[in-house]
A and B are shown apart, each in its own frame.
Chain A
Amino acid sequence: MTHLHDDKIKFLEEKALEIRKSIIESLVEAKSGHTAGPLGMADIFTAFYFHILKHDPKNPTWEDRDRVVLSNGHICPVLYATMAHVGYFPVEELKTLRKFGTRLQGHPHREYLPMLETSSGPLGQGLSQAVGMAIIDRLDRGHNSNRTTYCFLGDGELNEGQIWEAAMLAGREKLHNLVAIVDRNNIQIDGFTEDVMPLEPLALKWAAFGWHVLEIDGHNMSAIVDAVDTARAIFEKPSVIIAHTIPGKGVEMFEHDYKWHGNPPNKEQGVNAMAELRTLGGQIQSEHE
């Protein structure tokens, strides 16, 4: 990967906008599902699928691909929307989200959508699976394997003890080919994370388990790409990128409100959200242009 040019940033920000629109549309259509997390992670997923990941939407089982584990499966609307926009399946299919017979199950199921590395939803289990993948990548291809295993985690799910089992194991194994990305949006279903079950000092916790820790603004395309570049350059440890994000990012009504964790917009709210959605270009990095 190389540092992003302004054109590329603009391209990614516009993609992220399209993906946000698709998220809203699919949720309105589904009449259930999670809103805040998917919108908050739209920039990161766009950066990954349109720039960072080594993958081939036309050949999902390509052996040399990077591996992606979405641990917090409930934010799958962003995964599905991004995968559709990058060419894994038709964008039109997003309207089947959560409906009977759909490949886009309410929480991802690889029997229905085999291009997924794993099924997910029950929290706290993704990192262990990613650790298993990274261990085998190293066993089969040695330390100079050019495949990276990425694991997306919610911050609320860090309440789960299994996360720290996996963190301990990854630390012992010094899995430099493993990068975890924590969506630090500070909300979970019952409230703000620091009220429900405090996570701070979060960076120190990961560091204490033997991880290299990076903290970024999760809506800044350059910062996202640079952080992954740095993480991949760290050779002696696994890396975690704590991405500070705004839940519901892009639609003011949804932003920072934990009530939107697990609810979809209704039709009218959806129309308002679509009208309001603006590209993040002009908001963050491209502001000066």
Chain B
Amino acid sequence: MIPLNPKLFDTDVEQAPIRQGFGEGLVLAGRADERVVAMCCDLTESTKMDAFAKEFPKRFFEMGIMEQSSASVASGMAAMGKIPFVSSYAMFSPGRNWEQIRTNICYNDRPVKIAGSHAGVSVGPDGGTHQAIEDIAITRVMPNMTVITPCDSIEARKATLAMAKTNSPTYIRLAREKTPIITTEDTPFEIGKAQEFFRSASAPKVGIVACGSLVYNALMAAKELEGEGIGTVVLNIGTVKPIDRESVIALAKECSAIVTVEEHQVAGGMGSAVAEVLSAEHPTKMVFVGVHDKFGQSGTPEELVRHYGMDKDSIKNAVRKLIP
């Protein structure tokens, strides 16, 4: 079994923002490889690039509020042999600068790393303008692009280090709020590899495939369902693209149905990626937990996650729907 935080199901489980792990990972990547450079669009503290900026002032570039130019500048830097990281809020990068990422980075197949922070409705009070719930869809559709959605701060750190070592354009999706620590230092991370985070004592009937900040809710739901006699498996999809086809297909073969859980529009997101695999390889009844064609709004993260049907109880209901 994959090692996970022993306090995972405790009420006092440690919490940290996923973006913090990115900031830590970037510093480590910078120490490991001097080709790593970083730029931020006037959100250096917010996206946790400040530690890198402090340690490597010459390799950090304050870009002002220029998301479009930043993506293109990064492409130019990559053309000169660098591994540039660009950070902003996910709404603006890869949101606003999508075409620059497509044509200057992915079409050129340059190893630029886009870090989109404040993804999902759990940004909270800032409201719908700032809640990126389309970013997985618009990044995974681009050829050459890798899309990573860490589930906690520790995984984010490992993912950041791992993506700095590849030659692929990569998007990493980060969240603002503190979320429970799920993994441990010993939990392996590999780009493109999904991991089984939970398996109930009884035979699983439904497979839950989750990503990002909602993996915790999925695990809590699975734990409670186990107590209610409903067996599940929870698969953490750390990488949405390339998706771990083998693990997804194996899960569908073992369970009679699949629930996908993501803090993202259901259209085009991680669930869609899973459905693309399963509909071709092993057609399986699915329920999609995520935002259903709505924009976000102001509120606390908890209120919003519940309102849009992505909380623990909603996941449990989704699983129950699939039990014959």
Output the nearest chain B residue to A166 by Cβ-Cβ distance: B69
Q: What is the distance, in angstroms, from B154's C-beta to the closest C-beta of chain A?
A: 32
Of A115-123, A204-212, A281-289, the one touching chain B:
A115-123
- Within the complex, which residue of A140, A166, A169 is in contact with B80, where a contact is CB–CB below 8 Å? A140
Chain A residue with Cβ nearest B81: A136
Q: Which residue of B lies closest to A107 (CB)?
A: B103
**B72's closest neighbor in chain A, by CB?**
A128
What is the CB-to-nearest-CB distance from A184 to chain B, in angstroms, rounded to a whole number? 22
Contact B69 A128 (CB under 8 A): yes
A165 contacts across to B, CB distance below 8 A: 64, 66, 68-69
Query: Is A109 close to B, CB under 8 A?
Result: yes
B104 engages A168 (CB within 8 Å): no
Question: A133 near B80 (CB under 8 angstroms)?
Answer: yes
A69, A117, A135: most-surrounded residue (chain B CB, <10 A): A135
Q: Which of chain B's residues have a CB closer than 8 A to the CB of A128?
A: 68-73, 75-76, 100, 104
Docked-complex contact B68 and A118, CB < 8 angstroms: no
* Contact residues of B between 60 and 116, Cβ < 8 Å to A: 61, 63-64, 66, 68-82, 84, 99-100, 103-104, 107-109
Least CB separation from B77: chain A residue: A132
A119–B108 touching, CB < 8 Å? yes
Q: Which residues of A are found within 8 Å of B58, using beta-carbon distances?
A: 139
Query: Once the chains bind, are A135 and B79 in contact (CB under 8 Å)?
Result: no
The distance from the CB of B42 to the nearest CB of chain A, in whole angstroms, is 12
Q: Is the CB of B76 within 8 A of A131?
A: yes
| Shortest Cβ gap from A233 to chain B (Å) | 23
Instruction: Give the residues in chain A near B72, CB-CB below 8 Å.
Output: 125-126, 128-129, 132, 162, 166
Which of chain A's residues has its CB closest to B144's CB? A111
CB distance from A198 to the nearest CB of B (A): 23
For B63, list chain A residues within 8 Å (CB): 169
Task: Decide: B108 and A131 in contact? CB cutoff 8 A.
Answer: no
Encode contact with A along B10-45: 1 for CB under 8 Å, 0 otherwise: 000000000000000000000000000100000000
Using A109-B107, A166-B69 as known contacts, say yes or no to A132 and B64 having CB atoms under 8 A apart. no
A122's contact among B76, B82, B99, by CB below 8 Å, is which? B99
B193 adjacent to chain A (CB < 8 Å): no
CB distance from B145 to the nearest CB of A (A): 15
Chain B residues whose CB sits within 8 angstroms of the CB of A118 once the complex forms: 75-76, 79, 104, 108
Q: Contact flags (1/0) for A126-151 with B, using CB distance below 8 Å?
A: 10111111111101100000000000
Minimum distance in angstroms from B309 CB to a CB of chain A: 38
Q: How many residues from A make CB contacts under 8 Å with B?
A: 31
Using Cβ atoms and an 8 Å threshold, which residues of chain B touch A54?
none
Interface of A (DSSP majority class) = helix
Q: State the CA gap A33–B130 with chains docked (Å).
A: 41
Residue among B64, B69, B71, B104 with the highest chain A CB neighbour number at 10 A? B69
Residues from chain B with Cβ under 8 Å of A129 in the complex: 72-73, 75-76, 79, 104
Distance (Å) between the CB of A136 and the closest chain B CB? 4
Whether the Cβ atoms of B104 and A136 lie closer than 8 Å is no
Cβ of B59 under 8 Å from chain A: yes
Docked Cα-Cα span, A169 to B62, in Å, equals: 10
For residue B66, which residue of chain A has the nearest CB? A165
Return the chain A residue nearest B75 by Cβ: A129
List chain A residues, Cβ under 8 A from B100.
125, 128, 162
- Contact partner of B73 (CB less than 8 A), chosen from A110, A121, A169, is A169
Of B68, B80, B99, the residue contacting A132 (CB under 8 A) is: B80
A133 to B74, CA, bound (A): 9
Cβ contact within 8 Å between A136 and B108: no
Contact status B103-A119, CB under 8 Å: yes
Residues of B within 8 A of A137 (CB): 80
A168 to B71 Cα, complex, angstroms: 15
B108 and A110 contact, CB distance less than 8 A: yes
Residues of the A chain whose Cβ atoms lie less than 8 Å from the Cβ of B82: 136
If the complex has contacts A137-B80, A165-B69, are A125 and B61 also in contact, measured as CB distance less than 8 A? no
Find the B residue at minimum CB distance from A128: B72
Q: Report chain B residues within 8 Å CB of A140.
A: 80
- Looking at A69, A110, A118, A122, the one whose CB has the most chain B CB atoms below 10 A away is A118
CA gap between A106 and B104 in the complex, in Å: 16
Known: A111-B109, A136-B81. A162 touches B69 (CB 8 A): yes
What residues of B have a CB within 8 angstroms of the CB of A168 in the complex? 64, 66
- Nearest-Cβ distance from residue A49 to partner chain B, whole angstroms: 19
Contact of A135 among B61, B68, B103 (CB under 8 A): B61
- Nearest-neighbour CB distance to chain B for A150, whole angstroms, equals 13
Question: What are the 9 tightest A-B residue pairs by CB atom distance, in nearest-first order?
Answer: A132-B76, A128-B72, A129-B76, A165-B69, A132-B73, A136-B80, A132-B77, A128-B69, A165-B66
Interface residues of A (CB under 8 A from B): 67, 69, 109-111, 117-122, 125-126, 128-137, 139-140, 161-162, 165-166, 168-169
Residues of B within 8 A of A (CB): 37, 58-59, 61, 63-64, 66, 68-82, 84, 99-100, 103-104, 107-109
The 23 listed contacts between A and B (C-beta, < 8 Å) are A110-B108, A111-B109, A119-B103, A119-B107, A121-B103, A122-B99, A125-B100, A128-B68, A128-B71, A129-B72, A129-B76, A129-B79, A132-B72, A132-B77, A132-B80, A132-B84, A133-B79, A135-B76, A136-B37, A136-B77, A139-B37, A165-B68, A169-B73
Add 12 more A-B contacts to A120-B103, A129-B79, A131-B76 (CB < 8 A): A67-B80, A111-B107, A111-B109, A119-B103, A119-B108, A125-B100, A128-B73, A131-B73, A132-B77, A133-B77, A136-B77, A162-B69
